[in-house]
Amino acid sequence: MELHGLSAIITGGASGLGEATARRLAKAGIKVSLFDRDEERGKQVAADMGGHFEKVDVTSEENLITAINNSEKENGPARILVNCAGIVIGEKTVGRDNVAHALDSFKRVIDVNLVGTFNVIRLAAARMAELAPLPGGERGVVVNTASVAAMDGQIGQVAYAASKAGIVGMTLPIARDLSKLGIRICTIAPGLFGTPMMKSLPDDVQAALGASVPFPSRLGEPDEYAALAQHICENAMMNGEVIRLDGALRMAPR
């Protein structure tokens, strides 16, 4: 897919992996719309890169339809979707004093990370399906964000790991569903990356986490995620695949 001049939607685009991807795609000549809950930061990032911002709750169909409509008015129909929106909690199945995991918090993580990701995919792909095919027959491409936790979930990550495993599991069937429409989908499963959440940890903790990566023994840079997302968009044979981006890391139980 030739990227220059196309339009993209990036969920979770106000920070971290989403922001890095938005900035990289904008440099490639793509008109970018950032979808995020953080209005102040989102508008700032969008203005800095010449993009468009929409305040979005990915679990809301009505909110998403409005945001997609506004994005189309500003940048034209999106042929690229990158899903980076997500939340994380730490809670054991049975915690201290034998207290069971709160069901509401489990449902919330699944709702945002898994259901929210699918919500954006289904609505954006329906719009892509209406577009004329590009040379080679492509109409669009979707890049999802899972995590190595989908395969190597640690203690206290049951909700997060389940939500990301769901994203992994739906990648191939969605690719098959959308194949006749010329819409591709891949999922990136990052390891330990220097996102704002990671950077909030003490320096010695960050260093120890980085040292646990076989090679390169450091935290991943958000732009390294963005580079892979861009390559997926460009390479028409990348479809239905889940790609670990983790420096050969396999997470220990804790």
Terminus-to-terminus CA distance in the chain, angstroms? Answer: 41
Judge whether 225 counts as a catalytic residue. no
* Active-site residue identified among 160, 181, 187, 194: 160
List the catalytic residues: 160
